A and B are shown apart, each in its own frame.
Chain A
Amino acid sequence: MDNKLPFEGPLSEQRRKIDHLKKVGVEQNIDFSEEIARLEEAYKKLEDEIYSNLSGAQIMHLARVHSRPTTLDYINEIFEDFIELHGDRLYGDDLAIVGGIAKLNGVAVTVVGHQRGKDTKDNIQRFFGSPHPEGFRKALRFMQQANKFGRPIITFIDTKGAYPGDSAEARGQSEAIARNLKEMALLRVPVICVVIGEGGSGGALALGVGNRVLMLENSIYSVISPNGAASILWKDASKADQAAEAMKITAKDLLEFGIIEEIVPEPKGGAHLDPVRTAEAVKTAIWRHLEELSGMTPEALVEDRYRKFRSVGKFAAPELV
């Protein structure tokens, strides 16, 4: 249980103190209950202090916790009757992307997302959740199928980025991402995207052109991984924490920029501490947005999505005379 992050150290320390006192109390038959209650109180206070004031870098570390729930975890918790589908019909079946059809509160939907591995072996076959072109094309195939049958689309974003490999380049990594951006803009069904972990670069955005984009409280979304930014900007990948701060990659930041519509709360300490409760919160948010969107015509959905992305950007323009 104690694979805590460095900034969570004081909590572990406090927990150790409490456990120790409990143990001594039992061993020596002394009643420490008042003392323990006081320490528990302090623990709660410390917890509030730490988790209500997380820095961008600390959130980045939480987003990368290995045991954080993955796309398949959310699919299994949130949907019923999931039928996993495979392949892009062009080249192969990229396991860095999973998806298929399922029911959400009885409504048929298409669900697709990046899939990290659960262990080393799984990670190797899933390329650590970094898709090749066939992964993006697989996702697009699912989405266009949803479009044909009028099913809403739910995407889960969780990737460090598109896979940087020679065969990925040869098969058109750029084209695959670009095509998804273009084709997602034309989808005539509701599209809801949820960033559940790390949303890295074009590989994340290729599943991210939605009418609504939501982020889990401790997820991040950025143009390049903070490690990559640090090594390019400061020639020092170890300055990733600094880059994470400078790039403003948290859900709070993105809500302020108007890039996302909602922050989905996580249990104190992160989604991995209570995946079921987190999934419940995600499900509630998805359903609420889906209900809002379900009254819109296909044309209105396309226009709504277009307006959302058309308006992004900050620049100086001279006053029109």
Chain B
Amino acid sequence: MFKDLFQKKKYATVPSVSQAPAASERPKREIPEGLMNRCPKCGNIQFSKEWEKNLKVCSTCGHHSRLNALERIAMTLDDGRFFEIDADLTSEDPLEFPGYKAKLEQQKASSGLKDAVVTGEGEIGGVPVVVGVMSFDFFSGSMGSVVGEKVTRAIELAAAKKLPLLLFSTSGGARMQESILSLMQMAKTSAALAKFQEEGGLFISVFTDPTLGGVSASFASLGDYILAEPGAIVGFAGRIVIEQTIRQKLPDNFQTAEFNLKHGQLDKVVHRKDMKAFLTKLLEMHVGGGASDGQ
């Protein structure tokens, strides 16, 4: 019955990666604009078309460049088909924080997004899911009231429809300009997840580069399964703050996905090209016993 409801949805087709706007890393000046891409990690220069076909992963060193929400949705959901929910929720300036309104407008213009998370429904390998994807190119993926509310509503939708929930996180942390309201979104999303998971709901959390602070220390760390992209920086405190506190230089691999895997903080590091297949496999493990089929 839920499946029928779901099938009737009208889908918007998300542009494929090569058409998607606002690439997160722009080519350096000496490279012909748009034609070539230089890897920020190893410096390798590649045709942009090749690089995009490679899902923005460097063919030399494997560096996974940041994606915006629309790119991620396009490469994860079946046929890039996605029914967006709560698209019209936008941030206000409840504290009248100096410069916040202007910055919001500027972020909307530069990212083409209305806030730092996009939520909705789609299918992965034929399995219907509720999905939320954060975008670092909007306000460093920071969590304010809108991100907290949209994530919470996505959790509630997954609970109501008994669908698996999938969240791709990337965030610099809390939205300071919303101060305490921002902090409380951590409790709000976590409480909603508590309910959902108590009722048998399946939540898969995927860390992408970077996920820090309030997002890392709330819903993103509460997955029944926690995955990460290679090299993604995941942690609570930022490297600089920690280095200042302990008065020591931290190793290069500090807080990488691999570091977190080694320290027991996640289940698996999954290459971008394998992500969809892996998610499909994981989701299929829960069909006929997991959340998609009731409790």
Contact = CB atoms under 8 A, between A and B. Distances in A.
Interface of A: 162-166, 168-175, 177-179, 181-183, 185-186, 201-202, 205, 208-209, 221-224, 228-229, 232-233, 246-249, 253-254, 257, 259, 305-306, 309-310, 312-318
Interface stretch (B20-28, B179-187, B270-278): B179-187
Contact of B180 (A170, A183, A259, A315): A259
Interface of B: 86, 88-92, 94-95, 97-98, 144-146, 148-149, 152, 173-176, 178-188, 190-195, 197-198, 213-214, 216-222, 234-238, 241-242, 245-246, 248, 250, 254-255, 259, 263-265
B187 A169 contact: no
B91 A315 contact: yes
A313 to B, nearest CB: 4
A185 B263 contact: no
A306 B191 contact: yes
B239 to A, nearest CB: 9
Nearest to B198: A186
B179 A173 contact: no
B149 A315 contact: yes
A208 B183 CA distance: 11
Contacts of B221: 172, 174-175, 177-179
A277 B221 CA distance: 42
Contact of B235 (A174, A182, A183, A246): A174
A178 B218 contact: yes
A232 B181 CA distance: 19
Q: Which secondary structure dominates chain A's binding surface?
A: helix
B190 A223 contact: no
Nearest to B254: A166
A228 B90 CA distance: 26
A164 B181 contact: no
Given A229-B176, A312-B184, A313-B185, A181 B191 contact: yes
Given A202-B236, A257-B180, A310-B188, 10 more contacts: A164-B238, A166-B254, A168-B237, A172-B221, A178-B217, A182-B191, A182-B193, A202-B217, A315-B144, A318-B88
B202 to A, nearest CB: 15
Given A164-B241, A165-B242, A178-B222, A186 B194 contact: yes
A169 B191 contact: no
B98 A246 contact: yes
Interface centre among A171, A228, A313 (most CB of B within 10 A): A313
A176 to B, nearest CB: 8
Contacts of A209: 187, 190-191
Contacts of B195: 185, 306
16 contacts: A169-B236, A169-B237, A174-B216, A174-B221, A177-B218, A178-B221, A181-B186, A185-B191, A201-B183, A247-B176, A249-B180, A259-B180, A309-B187, A309-B191, A310-B152, A313-B184
A222 B236 contact: no
A205 B192 CA distance: 16
B174 A314 contact: no
Contacts of B173: 224
Contact of B255 (A165, A169, A246, A305): A169
Contacts of B190: 178, 181-182, 185, 209
A165 B245 contact: yes
A172 B263 contact: yes
Contact of A224 (B152, B174, B186, B236): B174
B180 A221 contact: yes
Contacts of B218: 177-178, 181, 202
B263 A249 contact: no
Nearest to B95: A248
Contacts of A182: 190-191, 193-194, 197, 222
Contacts of B194: 182-183, 185-186
A202 B236 CA distance: 9
B176 A232 contact: yes
Given A181-B218, A316-B92, A249 B179 contact: yes
B183 A313 contact: no
B242 to A, nearest CB: 5
Contacts of B174: 201, 223-224
A309 B236 contact: no
Contacts of A259: 180-181, 184
B186 A205 contact: yes
A162 B145 contact: no
A282 B145 CA distance: 31
Nearest to A209: B187
Contact of A314 (B181, B236, B246): B181
Nearest to A186: B194
A222 B94 CA distance: 15
Contacts of B185: 312-313
A162 B236 contact: yes
Contacts of B234: 174
A224 B176 contact: yes
A164 B242 contact: yes
A299 to B, nearest CB: 12
A79 to B, nearest CB: 26
A175 B187 CA distance: 13
